[in-house]
Amino acid sequence: MSVAHSHVGPWTLTDVLALPEDPAQRVELVGGQLMMSPVPGLPHQRASHRLDNLLEQAAVAAAADIEVFEAINIIVPDGLLIPDLVLVDAAAAEQATAAVPGHDVLLVVEIASPSTRVTDRKLKPSLYAAAGIRHYWRIELDPAPRVLAGDFHAGTYDETEHLAGATARIEAPFPVSFDPAVLARR
């Protein structure tokens, strides 16, 4: 992205949203600095697609007035993040254009990849919490799929771990049940 090399000074939300779309990488903004990551690989994409389908089905069954999106811009107090999956209030999604404010997000899901593992475990949960996002899930694919479902309490996410080989029953933001192993199987 040659635009990034000619920019002077800290980046702003307006600067980042004005960048041309780049299918080869994701560009996020934290504290005036860009964070770039490559487009995820096939195991990551498989897990994202399968979890997207599971969440869509569970939302319909629960009559939840939400929309599920993959890799959209979320505005957080210190910048702009692009979670792997996002559940957004349907009315807010109707009004959104290039980005959704964090307060309209019910759940963010990050699927840890080798290039994003540290930010998914350390940096992003605190930024999502600061944005008031009530639920944060992290999917770990190695050595076997597992879901860490976090609910916001006292400024941080309390995580419950769900391992492959057993049914994960998660009640919020609406009930959904699945074996994390289905996120990786062919």
CATH code of the domain containing 47? 3.90.1570.10
Number of domains in the chain: 1
Phi-psi region of 59 (alpha: psi -120 to 50; beta: other; left: phi over 0): alpha
**Residue 166: what pLDDT?**
97
**Residue 1: what pLDDT?**
41
Give the predicted TM-score (pTM) of the model: 0.93
Is 31 domain-assigned?
no
**Residue 23: what pLDDT?**
84
Is 124 domain-assigned?
yes
Is 10 domain-assigned?
no
Measured CA to CA, the distance from residue 179 to residue 126 in angstroms comes to: 27
Is 28 domain-assigned?
no
Cβ-based burial of 43 (10 A; exposed 0-12, middle 13-18, buried ≥19) = middle
SS3 81: strand
Apex CA 111: angle with CA 92 and CA 14, to 5°?
45
Is 9 domain-assigned?
no
**Residue 5: what pLDDT?**
54
Give residue-wise pLDDT tens across range 64-93.
Answer: 999 999 999 999 998 999 999 999 999 999
Q: pLDDT 10s digit of each residue in the chain, 186 long?
A: 444 457 888 999 999 999 998 888 899 999 999 999 888 889 999 999 999 999 999 999 999 999 999 999 999 998 999 999 999 999 999 999 999 999 999 999 999 987 777 888 889 999 999 999 999 999 999 999 999 999 999 989 999 999 999 999 999 999 999 999 999 976
Answer whether 88's CB lies under 8 Å from 80's CB.
no
Is 36 domain-assigned?
no
Nearest to 139, CA basis, from 49, 40, 48: 48
Is 21 domain-assigned?
no
Is 81 domain-assigned?
yes
Domain span at residue 129 reads 41-183
How is residue 158 written in tokens?
A: 């309390």
